[in-house]
Structure 1
Amino acid sequence: MKRIIIGIAGASGVIYGIRLLEVLRAIPEIETHLVMSRTARMNIGIETDFTPAEVGALADQVHKIGDVASSLSSGSFRTEGMILAACSMKTLSGIVHSHADDLLVRAADVVLKEQRRLVLMPRETPLHLGHCKLLYEACQLGAIIAPPMPGFYGRPTSVAALIDHSVGRVLDLFGIDAGVAFRWQGHKAA
């Protein structure tokens, strides 16, 4: 059984974390561990038709944001890594500065120190220099920055297709082909 931590921070774009949970739920060999910030819980109601409880039900295990004694706080609890979807600039700053005052940042900190895969999906635009520096520093620490930028070469016809493409590309980073990302086959000239 492979464990993946899904973190949902307070940035707009909580649907990316929700869709990741939906897709991973269909893969029996993946066990998901969910951590949501307080602002993420609020944004779920603002941005989607889900409730935080419904989102939690998509995960195999839900960890409370304030539970820094959770299994996710220890490197001895083996995981494949963590995806922060979406990642707020506040959470990014906490990760970069190892300011682990909640479980979201602590879990990311553990993933980095154990040299596991940490994928951050920042959903902020435009970015100022401080944001860019934080993203750069996160890369230096070993994080992978994967902004949810849609690919249009597959000619998506819905918002759901755009979300799925980003979700599929992030799962590719864990070697998981969930069948939701459009795969480029090259251009066929007419």
Structure 2
Amino acid sequence: MSFSISRPLPLEGTPDIVLVTPDEPHEFEATRAIFRDYAASLDIDLCFQHFDEELATLPGDYAEPRGALLLALIDAEGGGAASRQVDAPKIRRAQGGMAYVAGCCALRPLDTADYPNAAEMKRLYVRPVFRGLGLGRQMAEAILDAARGAGYACVLLDTLDDMESARGLYEDLGFVEVPPYYHNPIAGAHYLKVEL
């Protein structure tokens, strides 16, 4: 499944972005790689979230129809990002050609929360070289659309104190702070929820 982007990107001349749901072995390997980059960027140990098991069993809880898993791909062969030097992993697209793996985002059911019919947004990450293109917003909006399509009543997430840009995006998308919905041993965690 591919998600089409119908909302304009914020910058003139930005590259074409395609959101895809991984379903080929090389796409799952690319997902594992960007998830590892995400974890490394946090500078915390995600073992309390069973991160290694999550990587080993992809798509796991992110599988449709109750979940969603997205990779943001940017054309690596013509114009846009390809016209400048970019140090980022690439994969072969299903329709041919190479694309940079620029970002990721995921959704999973959250049956253990005190909120009925809840899902959880996870792993929203944009590689540093691709920041400023509106990718985070595009992926978050696509994940919220997927949650609506799956019939969820709300989406929860947790984020850290130092993720100011992400928290600003979540606020723009209608998320509000809520009490913790699970135990997170990391100091400075924020718990957010949006009604769908």
Q: One fold, TM greater than 0.5?
A: no
Structure ranking higher on relative contact order (CA contacts 8 Å, 6+ apart): 1
Greater strand proportion: 2
Greater helix proportion: 1
TM-score norm. by structure 2 comes to: 0.30
